Each structure stands twice: as C-alpha cells, then as structure tokens.
C-alpha cells in the first residue's frame, strides 16, 4: 500500500451535515418562530422519537450525558449509602455521575478482548450495600445483555446503562437502552447521534422514573413554582432537540456506514495481527455501531511470541505527523485520575484497564470516510511498522 498526503481528520461532521443542512436550518427556524426555546414542542417530539427508536416507552431530555447519568440514578432511587459498580475503563463522566448521585462508586476491571466491563470481576465486587451496576457500552458495543441480566437478577441489582457511545447498538436481541431500568445517552457533537452542542437523554420503561426525571431536571418542579425535589437546571435545549430530530432518521444509515468502515479496517489490519496490531474484539456482529474504532499495539503476538514492542505514543505521533489524526480513549483510567485519589485506588488495582491505556489507539471513524482514506490510514501504519526503530519501545 502507498500512502498519499491527504489530511484525514479524526472526525469530520461536515460530511453528514451538508446533505441535510436545509432541513436543519428549517428546524431551527421553526423553533424561533414558535418561541418555545425551553422544554418546547421540539423537545417533546424528540424525546418520544428517540425512546421509540431505543425500544423504550419514555425519554427525558437533559443538558448533557453526565447529567443523564447523575439524574437518572437519582430518579432510580440511588443515593447516599448505595454502592454502584462501574468499570475503571470509561470516560470520567460515568464516575462523576455516580458521585453526583451521592452513591459510592465501586470500580472493577475490564475484559481484555472487548475493553468492556468484566462481569466476573463485577460479581466479585458485589456486597450487601450494592444497589446498582452501570455497564458502559464502550466504543459502540454493548455489554452482553443476557449475562448482565443474569448477574443483576442473582443479586437484585438495578441495571443503569451508560449508552453514551452506543446509539441504536444491538446485541442478543436487545437494543442499547432497553436492558435495564433506565439508560443514559449523550448527544455531544461527535457522537453517532450528535447535537450542535451539549445534550443528553435518559430512556426508561418506567413512567414513575420518567416523571421523577422531569422534576429533577427542572428545579425539582413537576409543575411551575411547585418544587418537590432538590433538583437542578438541566434541560435539553429546544434548538438541539429540533436538530436531533432531523438527524435521527439517518442514524441507522450512518451506523451502517461506520460498520462498513470498521470491516475495511479489520480486513486491512489482518496481515498486521502477527506484528502485534489487533482491533478491540467485536462480539456483537452487525450490532456494533463503532462510535470509535480502537486497535491495540501488543508486545506479544496472539500466540504469545515476543515481538518488537510498539510504542503506542510514537505510532500516534507518526500518524499525526502524516496528517492522520488519531485519538487515545482513554490515556489514564478513572482510578488513577488525580481528582479521584480520595477513593483509595492505586496503580495495579485494575491491571487490564491500566494496560489498555498504554496500548490502545483510535483511528479515524465517521460516516463518509472513504475506502481510499482507510487504505491511506493503514498504509501509513504499514510504513511505520516497516521501520520499527521509529515506533519501537526503548529497551
């Protein structure tokens, strides 16, 4: 493969926005004409449409994905004195959401093949105080619904899904958001379904939880000037809801495009597997929606033979120098973040999560990425591997 000099961004939202821009403009104008900027008609319409797409009865829009986790857990009755199990390998918003709900987070390690929550480790972490488990459907792949439900049923746990990266993902006949009591989604612009700013939603089958959420997001008031909860101001903006409603009908097509790109990456990456580059394993087939396409730079081959160890950071820098933007999701696990040292965790507590932080790199992934771009990315990686001294770990 020969590389060319075309710059490839990590994410390019213009490719999905340009064809539908007139519809986005009209949706925004409609909100302006109505003048219902806060909790307006656009919010109600989007909440209903998104909940239906997830296979749930109710959706409650909030200001961001972090609020969706925090307020969602509160609406489920989780608070002070309750332990909540979650993976160490996640964005800090998951952990912050648990803390903001007033609960005690209990971190566990992840599966080395999928980077998802290790359900075996989660089971060992259950105590009499454990009330809930928060599976993070990381990178666009769901935690096994069957195994998750078995665990929750055995120990009488609430399942609250963090589906911020898994819009319309599927596994074992379930759609993300439909496994547990409730689920949180983020509409950060780069998500599979992204707003033009921040936004989030909680979906649920439970009308009481939905009603509680509507109160919590609006100063604890189920109706104006009547406050029954210690709530906050966290409302999905009408403008953002209108934009999301325009984009929602295209989401399945965009997810299929992501799957196509991932399959191209997989095919081109296969010859490099023996050199220690492998993708995070897909155990969901076509149900994986690939918010991110993540590979691992191993120091051993799949058969256990030692190879020239690849320095992930040097590979990252080499690709960026060639105009190919990449990401690292995430460079430091939650338990080693300075903000959470008071939780008492230390280096070595979650070895798989810590190892992944040293090995993973996310390649460009977005609807509209062409086959030629994928070939260019992989060609640049091949060239880097052909000169191992440029990306090799020091002895």
For residue range 3-16, what is the model confidence (pLDDT) as tens digits? 446 899 999 999 99
pLDDT at residue 395, rounded to an integer: 46
Q: Report pLDDT for 391.
A: 64
Q: What integer pLDDT is reported at residue 369 of this predicted model?
A: 97
Tokens 């998750």 belong to 148
Q: Which part of the chain has CATH 3.90.1150.10? A: 251-390
Among residues 124, 191, 247, 286, which one is catalytic?
Answer: 191
- Please confirm, yes or no, whether 191 is among the known catalytic residues: yes
Average pLDDT over residues 152-167: 98
Q: Write down the residue that tokens 């992930």 correspond to.
A: 312
Alpha carbons within 13 A on the beta-carbon side of 29: 6
Share of residues in the chain with pLDDT > 90 (%): 91
pTM: 0.95
Question: What is the average pLDDT across 299-309?
Answer: 59
Q: What is residue 303's predicted lDDT score, i.e. its pLDDT?
A: 58
Asked whether the predicted pLDDT for residue 1 surpasses 50, the reply is no
Query: Which CATH architecture fits 15-108+116-250?
Result: 3-Layer(aba) Sandwich (3.40)
List, by residue range, all CATH 3.40.640.10 domains of the chain.
15-108+116-250
CATH code reported for the domain at 251-390: 3.90.1150.10
pLDDT at 280 over 90: yes
C-alpha distances (whole Å) from 23 to each of 26, 37, 186, 265, 291 are 5, 18, 22, 32, 24
Using 50, 70 and 90 to split pLDDT, how confident is the model at 301? low
């Amino acid at each position: 493969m020969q590389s060319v000099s075309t710059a490839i961004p990590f994410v390019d939202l213009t490719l999905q926005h340009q064809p539908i821009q007139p519809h986005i403009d009209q949706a925004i104008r409609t909100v302006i004409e109505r003048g219902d900027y806060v909790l307006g008609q656009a919010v109600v319409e989007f909440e209903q449409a998104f909940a239906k797409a997830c296979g749930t009865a109710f959706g409650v829009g909030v200001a961001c994905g972090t609020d969706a986790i925090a307020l969602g857990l509160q609406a489920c009755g989780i608070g002070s004195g309750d332990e909540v199990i979650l993976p160490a390998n996640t964005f800090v918003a998951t952990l912050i959401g648990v803390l903001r709900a007033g609960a005690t987070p209990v971190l566990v390690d992840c599966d080395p093949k999928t980077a998802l929550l290790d359900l075996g480790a989660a089971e060992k972490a259950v105590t009499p105080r454990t009330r809930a488990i928060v599976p993070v459907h990381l990178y666009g792949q769901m935690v096994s619904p069957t195994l998750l439900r078995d665990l929750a049923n055995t120990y009488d746990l609430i399942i609250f899904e963090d589906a911020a990266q898994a819009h319309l993902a599927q596994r074992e006949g379930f759609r993300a958001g439909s496994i547990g009591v409730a689920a949180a989604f983020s509409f950060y612009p780069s998500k599979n379904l992204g707003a033009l700013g921040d936004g989030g939603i909680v979906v649920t089958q439970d009308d009481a939880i939905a009603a509680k959420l509507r109160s919590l997001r609006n100063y604890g008031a189920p109706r104006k000037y009547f406050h029954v909860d210690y709530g906050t101001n966290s409302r999905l903006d009408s403008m953002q809801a209108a934009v999301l409603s325009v984009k929602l009908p295209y989401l399945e097509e965009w997810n299929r495009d992501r799957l196509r790109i991932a399959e191209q990456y997989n095919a081109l990456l296969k010859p490099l597997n023996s050199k220690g580059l492998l993708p995070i394993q897909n155990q969901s087939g076509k149900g994986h929606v690939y918010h991110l396409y993540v590979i691992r730079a191993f120091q051993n081959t799949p058969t256990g033979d030692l190879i020239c160890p690849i320095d992930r950071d040097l590979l990252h820098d080499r690709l960026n120098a060639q105009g190919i933007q990449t990401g690292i999701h995430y460079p430091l696990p939650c338990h080693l973040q300075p903000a959470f040292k008071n939780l008492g965790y230390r280096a070595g507590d979650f070895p798989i999560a810590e190892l992944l932080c040293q090995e993973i790199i996310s390649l460009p992934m977005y609807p509209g990425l062409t086959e030629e771009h994928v070939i260019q990315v992989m060609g640049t990686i091949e060239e880097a591997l052909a000169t191992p001294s440029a990306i090799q770990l020091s002895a």
